[in-house]
Chain A
């Protein structure tokens, strides 16, 4: 069977959907964008601008559509939804990244102890009424005690002891405590980290330096009550015995340094063809006063000499 004319008629009916370009098109399906990095063809640009623009755009969009129709889809009432990949082009954000909320005291404690968060149901079963009631709020279960019509009172209770009021006070104080703790958490979240901590560290550093800035390096200073002992930096030494591998590494590092001819930071800075270290020379000649002072000195000397000549 010859299918060539069937194929030919098919080809005539439908135009091709493939796009051939020298440089492959850069398709960013996440942003529905296609970039054609082929240089602009000057001849066709000059001869017919609009047609040229349209044809390049068509080729690019054909490639983009091909990429989009190749993506996995989900059906929806309005048509197929293509699941887009992450965009490859990086665009700047409009607002800085949101800062994570600082954890509350309880959250920190729970994290340390490994306590999982558990959602408490809002309704509880009431045996007497045989229905679900609110745990708190309107007709809440937590008000049960203060709303019951008869109360048990101990024999030695005060004359003016009001069991309803006692139950109510207990509940309201729990609410008040929770509110207080919430406010503390808010206050802690505001001060946590940032400026306050930094300032504290700064002050401590300044205090430490002032304490050793007296003639006796703070030895004979009056101590304030509750003043902490100054702690310096502890010196650390390498272990006397290390593994052969480590020792080898250290020695090789030294040898490599010697071998490469790398110089120390000071020598490296002045490295070049200057034979004279100008800064050092100025320092020596001016006896450590600096170049400006030296210039002034020489100038004054010259003036003096002249005056002396006049005399």
Chain B
């Protein structure tokens, strides 16, 4: 447990306040950690992924003896210490060569994990093509029906989106859209959509799961004669082929807590949604002018001066209709006076 720090000056107080939980969260910072042994491939993959994730990435240069599926305590410690909520752990063992584990935390506790095996890796330098600017938001593309049906791939999609694109933003600069991260699965005819009754006999299932192809491209926008440009893609790298290995699902309680949404003010929402503000305009003098619509006033119900003589007596109503009509007429007359 970290000791609770009491800020001594305004600067450290601001730094601590920035770490506090917020209604609309910042982007997840990712820590890239190496396990006890990492091969050349894993190092390369981590370096390239970090290049894509920059500037919200922290690199741990030393090796660390961590096994995320057995003991996650050091992850929780690092998460607290660095205010990071995502981990990419590279490791290579004899049993599981060239592996990459993506871990997500909630409240500095591990939420879920997914281990991926690296089958093929082509780095950025091998493509002599223009690269994207660091810090620009990527567009993401997922292709396969399994991203909507199979729990493992739903989790993978969620993890990858959280890693690269998890920040809620109000607006995006259209010329700043430079690159694409595309995630495609290989066809898997033998795979039925997850069978919850049989449970997961993991080893058997893992062989059947389709491969994951991660490709990155830069976008070229060509004129098309319409407002919408024509898209052409150019390879940028890295190209990574992955296969799924172990995973850990989120604890249902924890997941429920993590999925809780703040009740945002309607005004904020409308501002964020880019809706047009109705009946408001700024005039030439820079003043905000509003137009108010009010229904037509019903003057018949207007309360005028009350007089005793004008009160309706309940007994009189039983009289002739003519009588009452006459009376009303006279009443109207008096009112006009």
Contacts and interface: CB of A to CB of B under 8 A. Distances in A.
Interface of A: 10, 13-17, 23, 26, 30-42, 45, 49, 53-54, 56-58, 60-62, 64-66, 68-74, 76, 78-87, 89-98
B233 A61 contact: yes
B101 to A, nearest CB: 17
Contact of A53 (B176, B187, B215, B226): B215
A73 B170 CA distance: 11
Given A92-B111, A92-B259, A64 B141 contact: yes
A251 B318 CA distance: 43
Interface of B: 20-23, 25, 28, 85, 104-107, 111, 137-145, 147-148, 157-158, 161-162, 165-166, 168-177, 180, 182, 184-187, 189, 210, 213, 215, 217, 219, 221-233, 235, 250, 255, 257-260, 262, 269, 272-274, 276
A78 to B, nearest CB: 5
A33 B148 CA distance: 14
Given A39-B144, A64-B141, A92 B226 contact: no
Contact of B174 (A30, A45, A60, A82): A82
B174 A80 contact: yes
Given A15-B230, A92-B259, A35 B173 contact: no
B85 A17 contact: no
B141 A84 contact: no
A72 B168 CA distance: 17
- 6 smallest A-B Cβ distances: which pairs? A83-B274, A92-B258, A79-B175, A94-B85, A57-B182, A95-B21
A38 B143 contact: yes
B215 A42 contact: no
Nearest to A69: B228
Contacts of A83: 170-171, 273-274
A283 to B, nearest CB: 37
B170 A84 contact: yes
Most buried by B among A23, A39, A83, A92: A92
A89 B168 CA distance: 11
A14 B175 contact: no
Given A35-B142, A53-B215, A98 B171 contact: no
Nearest to B104: A92
Contacts of A15: 222, 224, 230
A32 B137 contact: yes
B105 to A, nearest CB: 7
A14 B171 contact: no
Contacts of A60: 141, 143, 182
A53 B228 contact: no
Nearest to B239: A50
Contacts of B231: 17, 58, 61-62, 65
Nearest to A87: B168
Contacts of A84: 169-172, 274
Contacts of A80: 173-175
B274 A85 contact: yes
25 contacts: A14-B224, A16-B224, A23-B145, A30-B168, A32-B137, A32-B138, A36-B142, A39-B145, A42-B187, A53-B184, A53-B215, A54-B233, A56-B141, A61-B180, A64-B139, A78-B176, A79-B175, A79-B176, A82-B172, A89-B158, A93-B25, A93-B258, A94-B25, A96-B260, A97-B23
A36 B143 contact: yes
B214 to A, nearest CB: 10
Contacts of A33: 139-142, 161, 165
A166 to B, nearest CB: 36
B274 A57 contact: no
**B22, B161, B231, B272 — most chain A CB neighbours (10 Å):** B231
Contacts of A66: 228
Nearest to A95: B21
B25 A95 contact: yes
Nearest to B20: A98
